[in-house]
Structure 1
Amino acid sequence: MAEGKHISLFLIDGTFGGLVTAEILNWTGHVLKGSRSELSRICQREEAQRTGVYILLGADKAGNPLAYIGETDNIANRLRQHEKKKAFWNDVVFVTSKDGNLTSAHARYIEAQLIQRAKEIGRIPLENGNEPTGGADLPEADASDMHHFIKEFLTILPVLGVEVFRGRSAENNGPVASESQTDLPVFHLYIKKYDCTAYAQIIDGEFTVLKGSKIAPKTTQKKDVTEGTLKQFESRKRRREQLFNSGVIAADDEGLLVLTRDVQFTSPSDAAAFVRGRASANGRIEWKTEDGGTYADWENKER
C-alpha cells in the first residue's frame, strides 16, 4: 500500500489562481507559485530573497508548453532579470529552504538533477540552452539529503499544476512498461489495417500511450459529419503534426509512425482516437488487457 503524504497549501490571497505556498510536514523545503503579473509582490516576499531553484512556465511562439529551470542566490533578483530578458513565461514556481541551510552548491545540484530529469521525461521542452555545471560533487551525505529534498519537491509540483516532471524517465521509458512499475496492467490496441499495436498504461494517474507504440500512419475522417466532429478531428490532426514536428512521433522503415516517448491523454478514448487517427473512438472497449478483456472490464473489476 502506498504511503500517504500530508501537503499543506496556503492561498495567500484566499482565492484560487493567486499566490500559493506549499509545504510537506517535516520537510525543510518551502514552495511558492505565482503568475508573472504578480512578480512585484513575489519579489517583495521574504522567501524570494533566499537561495533557491526556480521553474519558469509558459509557451513558445506556436503555443506549445515550454519551461526553464534555474538556480540563484537570490530568487527575486533573478526573476527581475528574467522579466526583462525572457518573454515566454507566464508563471513561476520556486523552492527555498525554511531553515536557510540551502547553499549555492545545493541549489546547483538540484538544478542539474531537475534539468536531467525533465529532459529524460521529455514531456515539456526546456528553454535552457546549456547543460548545468557544478553542484555535482557534493559530499555523500549532502547528496543524499538533496535527493530527498528533490523527491519532496517533485511530489508537490503536480499538486500545483506543474507537469514538467510527470511521467516515466528515460531509463524506464521502454517500448512496453513493466506492470511491476505501477502495479497496473499494460493495455494494447491493435489496428488490423496496418498490422500495428500501441501500448498504454495508467502512470501517475494519467492514461499514457507508451514509447515504442506504433500508430496509424494517416488521419482519416468521413466528410459527412457534424461541425463539432470535424473540429475535433482537426484538433487531433494538429496535435499529431505538433508531435511529429517535435520528434515525439517518427516514421519507421515500414511507413508506420512510432512514438519516441510516452504521450499522456485525458482518457482512454482520447488516446484511442489519437492512435487510430480519427476524431473519436471508444477507448473503453478498444484498449485490451493481456487476457483479452477490455479497459471497461478491468475498470469494473477495480471498483
Structure 2
Amino acid sequence: MRYLESALINLAKKVGRVSLENVASPTGGAPLPEADASNMDVLLNSWAEATKVQHATRQELRSKLFADGALRSEGAVAVATRDIVFSSPSAASATALGRASSNGRIEWKTQDGQTLSAWEQSVG
C-alpha cells in the first residue's frame, strides 16, 4: 500500500491540480520485487488513462450542455436550466463542476447548504 500511496502522491504533485494535505513525502515503503512494482505501475497507468478519458468525456458533455443552454454560468457555479438525466448524483456533479469525478452526495446542496446525503437521510 505504501508503494501505491507514494506513487499517487508523487503523481498528484507532478500534475499540480490539487493541493495536498499530506505534507510528508512517503518513501514508498520497502522496495517491491520488480514484477510487483511493474504490476503496480501498470495499474496506476491504467487508472490514470481511464481518468483522462472520463474527464475528457465529461468536459465534452459539459460543453454541449452549455452550448444548448441546458447549463448556464452563474458566477462560479453552473446552473441547470432544465432537467438533465444522469446515471448518478456523482456523474451529474462531476459534469457540472468540470471534473473527472466528484462525490455528488456531498457536492449537491440545498439552498440552505444541506448536502444531498444529509437531505436523503432526513426524508428517508
Query: Which TM-score applies when normalising by structure 2?
Result: 0.49
RCO comparison, higher one (Cα < 8 Å, 6+) = 2
Q: Which has the larger radius of gyration?
A: 1
Structure in which a larger fraction of residues adopt strand: 1
Structure in which a larger fraction of residues adopt helix: 2
